[in-house]
């Protein structure tokens, strides 16, 4: 039986309390109010209504209207209360999604760091010493930590793709105009896009499809040719300085595409990178002043000083400079599209590095500018893009971006589907082959790699759960080898599985009999109260086959 929306909401609020990340949220809705909305969704489903997102939990960036909540754009004194949801929010709610609240952001969506907010700096999901990325910071981290299933952000310069990459999730920046931007506080109105975050690409695609409205732009582009995907990939030496290990990770991603059947073609990235500098260093930044400049000029104690300086400086840009930059951009775009030719996509790292909070504090403008090196050009060139996980470097997520011409959104998703970084998972109980929860692995594309045992450092306990499952715990002494299986699955699927992992289960390193360590399901100490020690049986299957299991 599918899990109810009400139960999902209750578990989400418990996780929010356990996580202790208040900086994620600007306005978290009262739990009772959200439970009532979830119960209404359950009633609709019970009545036979088909809701493709029934019970999926949604977080919404604080510059997007949610009826009943203030829209702050990260500035409390700017706040207003909308009478209706933004169309993107309304579409997801109509499909059964339940809104948890609005999330923190770089003020007025001006930044790629996630620190420019009076509500506090949002820290990366996996390393609280590092930035979350922005401007859609809270939305990305809410999804990465499993607090929400989906989240909406905006993406003008990379504000959806950068935090997606830093937090190991999927971020889609669709073709401009594909998702209505009504009900969104503008940053640069001519470039703004509503973006979507999810832990898996299919879920992000499903949400995007539901938000897509009647486009005012014709999707006039040639039908996709037959044959393998053609992906343009620049040499890492042409990308500038990258963090240690990032060049190798990028090359590995390109290699994975080639191994999956894509044709890899070299490309000169110079016109793309040169255009990226125009977004903030040229006259296009004047559009930010058009959006909120009059408000910022009034001053206020809750204005972020870096954001205010960027917006007010744009006031005095001369008109002739804008026309000159437009002409320059036209030339760069023509050159870039000529180089791209008949390639279906361009592959790039999302960012050159993942800075710490301290590094941003020491150089807020310089670090921010560097983060947009590979993302800023996309909307200026009227392209679509998405960011997907592509492994890890030194224990931190590494993400790559695929960019394509307008209306190539589905093509990019198909190409990104070839990048399925695998993760291994050790299981010793209800997720074993033939056991009642094994479908949670196979439904996420997992395959069995090995049947083995742990090192002789563990004990196994029978927990009082439904369905029955054991608790595996590591001990300092008195341990024994326990039968287990090792499964390999897409990393995104593992993230989705872990987000729904109930207490007292937890993820931790499990040492196998050959001395290697892989992530696996362990039991938190509080779950062992009253649980029988069944270590002597050597494994969960042996215990289930014994007379003791029926007592």
The answer to whether residues 181 and 152 touch, using CB atoms and an 8 Å cutoff, is: no
Active site residues: 61, 135, 159
Helix/strand/coil (H, E, C) string of 72-86? CCCCHHHCECCCCCC
- Domain match, 501 and 435 both: yes
Q: Which of 78-87, 302-311, 497-506 has the lowest mean pLDDT?
A: 497-506
The answer to whether residues 89 and 65 touch, using CB atoms and an 8 Å cutoff, is: yes
pLDDT in tens, 150-166: 999 999 999 999 999 99
Q: Is residue 296 part of a domain?
A: no
Q: Is residue 495 part of a domain?
A: yes
Q: Is residue 297 part of a domain?
A: no
CA nearest neighbour of 143 among 129, 132, 156: 132
Helix axes 31-46, 5-19, angle to 10 degrees: 150
Q: Mention every residue, 6+ apart, whose C-beta is less than 8 A from residue 278.
A: 284, 325, 328, 329, 332, 376, 380
- Element counts in the chain: helices (H) and strands (E): 19, 19
- Domain match, 196 and 240 both: yes
**pLDDT class for 421, splitting at 50, 70, 90?**
low
Q: Is residue 374 part of a domain?
A: yes
Helix/strand/coil (H, E, C) string of 113-134? CCCCCCCCCCECCCCCCEECCC
- Domain match, 57 and 141 both: yes
- Domain match, 376 and 493 both: no
Confidence (pLDDT) at 489: 79
Count of all residues that appear for the chain in the document: 551
- Domain match, 503 and 531 both: yes
Q: Is the pLDDT of residue 1 over 50?
A: no
Peptide bond between residue 131 and the one before it cis (omega within 30 degrees of 0): no
Beta bridge partners of 507: 521
Beta bridge partners of 257: none
- Exposure letters 85-101 (e unless 16+ CB within 10 A, then b): bbbbbbbbbebbbbbbb
**pLDDT class for 359, splitting at 50, 70, 90?**
very high
Domain count, the chain: 2
59 three-class SS: strand
- Domain match, 494 and 401 both: no
Residue 526 burial by CB count (10 A; 0-12/13-18/19+): exposed, middle or buried?
exposed
- Domain match, 381 and 506 both: no
Residue that terminates a domain, selected from 416, 438, 455: 416
The strand order across the sheet containing 383-393 reads 25-28, 98-103, 57-61, 150-154, 194-198, 170-173, 383-393, 396-405, 345-349, 230-233, 263-266
Mean pLDDT across 335-361: 98
Q: Mention every residue, 6+ apart, whose C-beta is less than 8 A from residue 338.
A: none
Q: Is residue 280 part of a domain?
A: no
Q: Is residue 70 part of a domain?
A: yes
**pLDDT class for 218, splitting at 50, 70, 90?**
low
Residue that terminates a domain, selected from 416, 442, 476: 416
| Structural domain harbouring 541 | 422-550
Query: Greatest CA separation found in the chain?
Result: 86
The answer to whether residues 120 and 114 touch, using CB atoms and an 8 Å cutoff, is: no
Mean pLDDT across 126-145: 96
Around 82, how many Cα atoms within 13 Å sit in the side-chain half-sphere?
Answer: 21
Q: Is the pLDDT of residue 63 over 50?
A: yes
Helix axes 201-211, 409-416, angle to 10 degrees: 170
Residue that terminates a domain, selected from 390, 416, 442: 416
Q: Mention every residue, 6+ apart, whose C-beta is less than 8 A from residue 364.
A: 113, 115, 116, 306
Q: Is the pLDDT of residue 49 over 60?
A: yes
- Domain match, 357 and 477 both: no
Q: Is residue 329 part of a domain?
A: no
Q: Which of 15-24, 212-221, 351-360, 419-428 has the highest mean pLDDT?
A: 351-360
CB neighbourhood size of 47 (10 A): 7
Domain with 471 in it: what CATH number?
A: 3.10.490.10
The answer to whether residues 191 and 379 touch, using CB atoms and an 8 Å cutoff, is: yes
**pLDDT class for 225, splitting at 50, 70, 90?**
low
CB neighbourhood size of 321 (10 A): 13
Q: Mention every residue, 6+ apart, whose C-beta is less than 8 A from residue 49.
A: none
pLDDT in tens, 391-413: 888 888 999 999 999 999 999 99
Mean pLDDT across 181-201: 94
Q: Is residue 222 part of a domain?
A: no
- Domain match, 426 and 405 both: no
- Domain match, 340 and 234 both: yes
Mean pLDDT across 370-376: 97
pLDDT above 90 covers a percentage of the chain that reads: 73
pLDDT in tens, 105-129: 999 999 999 999 999 999 999 899 9
Helix axes 305-313, 364-371, angle to 10 degrees: 70
- Domain match, 118 and 258 both: yes
Confidence (pLDDT) at 284: 86
CB neighbourhood size of 442 (10 A): 14
- Domain match, 359 and 502 both: no
Q: Mention every residue, 6+ apart, whose C-beta is less than 8 A from residue 97.
A: 53, 56, 57, 58, 149, 150
Arithmetic mean of pLDDT over the chain: 91
Which DSSP string corresponds to 249-317? HHHHHHHHHHHTTPEEEE---HHHHHHHTHHHHSGGGHHHHHHHHHHHHT--TTS-HHHHHHHHHGGG-
């Amino acid at each position: 039986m599918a899990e109810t929306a009400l139960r999902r909401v209750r578990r989400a609020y418990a996780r929010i309390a356990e996580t202790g990340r208040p900086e994620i949220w600007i306005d978290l809705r009262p739990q009772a109010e959200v439970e009532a909305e979830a119960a209404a969704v359950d009633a609709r489903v019970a009545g036979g209504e088909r809701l493709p997102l029934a019970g999926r939990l949604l977080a919404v960036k604080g510059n997007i209207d949610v009826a009943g909540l203030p829209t702050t754009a990260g500035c409390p004194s700017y706040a207003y209360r909308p009478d209706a949801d933004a169309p993107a929010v309304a579409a997801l709610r109509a499909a059964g999604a339940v809104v948890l609240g609005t999330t923190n952001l770089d003020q007025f969506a001006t930044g790629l760091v996630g620190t420019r907010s009076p509500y506090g700096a949002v820290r990366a999901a996996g390393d609280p010493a590092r930035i979350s990325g922005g401007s859609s910071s809270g939305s990305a981290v809410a999804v990465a930590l499993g607090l929400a299933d989906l989240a909406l952000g905006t993406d003008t310069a990379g504000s959806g793709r950068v935090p997606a990459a830093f937090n190991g999730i999927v971020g889609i920046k669709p073709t401009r105009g594909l998702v209505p931007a009504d009900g969104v506080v503008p940053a640069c109105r001519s470039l703004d896009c509503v973006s979507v975050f999810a832990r898996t690409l299919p879920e992000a695609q499903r949400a995007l499809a539901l938000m897509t409205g009647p486009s005012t732009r014709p999707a006039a582009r040639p039908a996709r040719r037959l044959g393998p995907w053609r992906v343009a990939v620049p040499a890492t030496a042409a990308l500038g300085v990258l963090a240690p290990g990032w060049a190798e990770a990028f090359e590995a991603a390109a290699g994975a595409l080639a191994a999956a059947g894509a044709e890899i073609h070299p490309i000169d990235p110079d016109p793309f990178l040169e255009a990226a500098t125009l977004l903030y260093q040229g006259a296009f930044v004047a559009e930010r002043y058009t959006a909120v400049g009059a408000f910022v000029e009034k001053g206020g104690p809750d204005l972020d000083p870096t954001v205010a300086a960027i917006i007010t400086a744009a006031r005095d840009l001369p008109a002739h400079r804008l026309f000159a930059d437009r002409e320059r951009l036209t030339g760069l775009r023509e050159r870039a599209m000529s180089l791209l030719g008949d390639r279906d996509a361009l592959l790039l790292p999302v960012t050159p590095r993942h800075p710490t909070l301290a590094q941003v504090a020491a150089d807020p403008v310089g670090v921010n500018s560097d983060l947009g090196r590979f993302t800023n050009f996309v909307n200026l060139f009227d392209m679509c893009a998405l960011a997907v996980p592509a492994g890890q470097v030194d224990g931190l997520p590494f993400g790559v971006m695929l960019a394509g011409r307008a209306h190539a959104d589905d093509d990019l998703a198909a190409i990104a589907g070839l990048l399925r970084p695998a993760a291994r998972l050790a299981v010793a109980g209800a997720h074993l082959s033939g056991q009642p929860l094994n479908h949670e692995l196979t439904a996420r594309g997992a395959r069995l790699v090995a049947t083995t045992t742990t090192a002789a450092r563990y004990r196994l306990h029978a927990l009082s759960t439904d369905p029955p499952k054991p608790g595996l715990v590591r001990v300092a002494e008195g341990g024994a080898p326990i039968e287990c299986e090792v499964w390999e699955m897409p990393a995104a699927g593992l993230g989705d599985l872990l987000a729904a992992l109930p207490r007292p289960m937890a993820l931790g390193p499990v040492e196998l009999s050959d001395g290697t360590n892989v992530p696996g399901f362990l039991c938190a100490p509080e779950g062992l109260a009253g649980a029988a020690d069944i270590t002597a049986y050597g494994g969960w299957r042996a215990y289930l086959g014994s007379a003791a299991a029926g007592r």
